[in-house]
Structure 1
């Protein structure tokens, strides 16, 4: 069957997309949708691992899971990931391939693989623009979102493009998925091992480094002095209220610092009435320290963050 057209899909090597791009069913027949969906599903662990490596370098209020999260999510992906993969195929991968085929035919008279990155970049830009309009993200975040979306969509679309016309497409998808995961792990591990990337860790501090006035950026402050006194002024609400109810809180009390050999486990305990009592973690950078308070759902917490310049009383 290697030299025959299968359900309208050209299977001959060297012309994988010549027929299907023009065929009546095109990219939207059941076989193409299924193969594209499986491609998205197989590529999910690689995408999660890649994000895990990126996340290691980003400032975070708590220690990230890193690329190991991909292994933890494998059972979830296998059990309930297919509907997500199907949506990704219908609304991202196949439109990208259709756009690439259309652009190639209109500009050069034939479809070619190098139109896929251009179509993916355009589609990712549109998706990132929608997110920017619905949220309050800055240009830097938008650029990173667009770049990650364009690269990821390009890889998935190219794998689907190569696999769909094959007599046994799923073997090709699995093979490319394993190769992609290997490359992601090799590049990510090599980046940190060689020093090209630096994993973020909170700065190590002493109790004296925490003395001063901390600000939440919305008019609320928490003042900590050398004698262990704490004064909360116009901080936002209580943890039980979500921290965003708009109710201001003012109280006085005490604070203590608990050092730890692991910088992620450095904590500050504040006892100032109902003004965010309990354990805060130390974060930020050496030049701009932060105190982070976790509240909300444990699996997807919110954070109330206070910051200040390093140095006392700044």
Structure 2
């Protein structure tokens, strides 16, 4: 039954009956507001390019997603880069003392999130923050 479901799903994608996943195109207006992780860490983005980090994890490339190398707190700046398509859009964040690569975008239009791969991108491990429901 599982194999049959997988086969039908693959055929549906190949035939174009099922759309492939694409992250939402968020834009700078969507970035503005509060984003939170699973432990209560947050990034608060303002529309004028400022950001405040509070307990946001910084992961070394070989880290386990449940264990950040340290927590980042402080003010900084941010920018949104649309990329060539929705898969290459990025949010760049600079907070002194915190070293993050650009954040990628995932989720849906209703529930977007930003994330970073932990370890090799094919590992499936990532650290993500979701947009807070109130958008503040």
Verify same fold: TM over 0.5: yes
More strand by share: 2
- The equivalences for 1:1-314 within 5 A come to 148=2, 151=3, 184=7, 188-189=10-11, 191-192=12-13, 193-195=15-17, 197-236=18-57, 238-240=58-60, 242=63, 244-245=67-68, 247-300=70-123, 302-309=125-132, 312-313=135-136
Report if the CA contact (8 A) 1:232-1:275 is conserved: no
Report if the CA contact (8 A) 1:253-1:272 is conserved: yes
More helix by share: 1
The SS at the match of 1:256 is: strand
Q: Which has the higher contact order (CA 8 A, sep 6+)?
A: 2
The Cα shift of 1:297 comes to 3.0
Gap change, CA 1:276 and 1:290, over 3 Å in 2: farther
The Cα shift of 1:209 comes to 0.9
Q: Distance in 1 between matches of 2:110 and 2:92?
A: 22
Q: Distance in 2 between matches of 1:285 and 1:259?
A: 16
Unaligned runs of at least 5 residues, structure 1: 1-146, 153-183
Unaligned runs of at least 5 residues, structure 2: none
The Cα shift of 1:270 comes to 0.6
Report if the CA contact (8 A) 1:271-1:278 is conserved: no
What's the TM-score once normalised by structure 1's chain length? Answer: 0.37
Report if the CA contact (8 A) 1:289-1:308 is conserved: yes
Q: Which residue of 2 aligns with 1:63?
A: none
CA RMSD, aligned part only? 2.6
Q: Distance in 1 between matches of 2:9 and 2:69?
A: 45
Report if the CA contact (8 A) 1:221-1:233 is conserved: yes
The Cα shift of 1:299 comes to 4.2
Report if the CA contact (8 A) 1:287-1:310 is conserved: no
The SS at the match of 1:188 is: helix
